[in-house]
Amino acid sequence: MVLKYDYQAWDSPIAVWTDTDYAGCKKTRKSTSAGVVMMGKHVVKTWSTTQAVIALSSGEAEYYGLVRGGSIGLGVQAMLKELGVRRKLRLKTDASAAKGIASRKGLGKVRHLEVNQLWLQDKVANGEVELEKVDGKVNRADALTKAVNAEELRNHVEWVNMEVMKGRHAIMPEVERKGSEARVPDDLAQDEAEEEMEVLHSHELSKSDSVSVPMLDKKKSQEGSVHGVEDARNIEGRRRRRKTALGRVCVRVQKESTQQT
């Protein structure tokens, strides 16, 4: 998936699309809030998180998601102001209850709202934040809260200016294939260093001239049980790297012992 940022003439408000899946977690019964921040047709931020509190109604859960979107939108707006760009902030939601709570002052009939979430009402009242009711079928954040079918997913990908592309970018490093794994050459050196550290930590090497070498057959049996589902070539490669790492450790200890004597 590739996000495209084409040149555009942008003079519209910062659009923050929000959506919430009420009590979506079957274990904790917490709701999931999601959002998409867009500047014109460009996506600058997305999120999908579990709410910290257990909402007692879908309207409360949707309002908490709207508050989260307002908080992130104000942060983006403040950053743009520092860069000399002034834009209004518009929150878009498909929940009429959340829009109604944010448009009034106080708790109203919803007595179980968290008081520290009511700051959004002041922002809406003084005009710093605009609210817009949208259809749930075109809500850009809808696919971030629940599973959608293939057609709806394609629509969301198109809405946020994304494109499905194959292959690797021209500036990406070459990939070396070893066995059934695709690996970057730099990772091979890192794996060798990790193998050496693993040998050092798993075997206490004495400072004398003699070095205790573990039984390779025992190692093979242990690796065979752990990597029983891996490809045989990868297991053999790991064994060779472990032997090489152990050999380097032995040579290093012998040199240190020779220098001491």
Q: What is the pLDDT of residue 216?
A: 46
Both structure tokens of 169: 């970018």
Domain extents for the chain? 2-163, 176-260
Q: What is the pLDDT of residue 170?
A: 77
CA nearest to 252, candidates 216, 211, 215: 211
Residue 148: count of CB within 10 angstroms of its CB: 14
Q: What is the pLDDT of residue 207?
A: 45
Q: For each of the chain's 261 residues, which pLDDT tens digit applies?
A: 888 898 998 889 999 999 999 999 989 999 999 999 999 999 999 999 999 999 999 999 999 999 999 999 999 999 999 999 999 999 999 999 999 999 999 888 787 888 889 999 999 999 999 999 999 999 999 999 998 899 999 999 999 888 888 877 777 777 666 555 555 555 555 565 566 566 555 555 444 444 444 444 544 555 455 444 455 566 666 777 777 777 776 767 677 777 666
Question: 2-163 maps to which CATH number?
Answer: 3.30.420.10
R_g over Cα of the chain: 29
| DSSP-assigned beta bridge partners for residue 3 | 162
CA 103 – CA 122 distance, rounded (Å): 9
Q: What is the pLDDT of residue 253?
A: 66
Long-range residue pairs from 102-107, CB within 8 A, at least 24 positions apart, any chain: 102/63, 102/66, 102/131, 103/131
Q: What is the pLDDT of residue 194?
A: 64
Q: What is the pLDDT of residue 177?
A: 62
What pTM did the predictor assign? 0.64
